[in-house]
Amino acid sequence: MGFQHGKHTKITVGGDDISEWTNTSEMTRGAAGHNVTMYGKNAEVHTGGLKNGQFTCGGTYDNTVSTGTHAVLDPLVGTVVEIVRMPEGTGTGKPTQTFDALLTQYVETNPVADMVTWSAQFTISDDVAETTQA
């Protein structure tokens, strides 16, 4: 089994690379479920429906750059944007996930005794293209 270190992950949102300010990301994939139980059954019967998913990411806020996460993400709240996620970083043969997603939430957190952080939550819209970098 080939273990991968998360430090190599690369994320772009709408073409802007936010990797430098990101220290966590999570992609959740799921599907709707439908109850198709008919009369006479003793237990429920289920079938799968449309796929769905969420993408979240977060990191440390940097107010010294005009290309940081506030400048990139805050204006995109409520819009659908293309996200490219490379969970193993860049390089030949490494995986890439490309998808459109609705930015539903952008949060900045200001703790009294620690660094300002940010987080973003996206709802995946349509299929996720899984490719291998050439």
- What's the number of domains the chain is made of? 1
Q: Quick: pLDDT tens for 64-111.
A: 788 889 999 999 999 999 999 999 999 999 999 999 999 999 999 999
User: What is the C-alpha separation between 80 and 101, in angstroms, rounded?
Assistant: 5
Q: What is the pTM of this model?
A: 0.90
Q: What is the pLDDT of residue 66?
A: 81
Q: Quick: pLDDT tens for 110-127.
A: 999 899 999 999 999 999
pLDDT band with cut points at 50, 70 and 90 for residue 2:
confident
User: What is the C-alpha separation between 124 and 51, in angstroms, rounded?
Assistant: 10
1 pLDDT more than 80: no
Decide if 79 is inside a domain.
yes
pLDDT band with cut points at 50, 70 and 90 for residue 130:
very high
- Tokens 């193993």 -> residue: 88
Could you list the residue range(s) of the whole structural domain that residue 87 is in?
Answer: 1-26+55-114
Decide if 34 is inside a domain.
no
Decide if 16 is inside a domain.
yes
Quick check: helix, strand or coil at residue 14?
A: coil
Decide if 132 is inside a domain.
no
The answer to whether residues 48 and 116 touch, using CB atoms and an 8 Å cutoff, is no
Decide if 65 is inside a domain.
yes
Q: Quick: pLDDT tens for 13-22.
A: 999 999 999 9
pLDDT band with cut points at 50, 70 and 90 for residue 38:
very high
Decide if 50 is inside a domain.
no
Decide if 90 is inside a domain.
yes
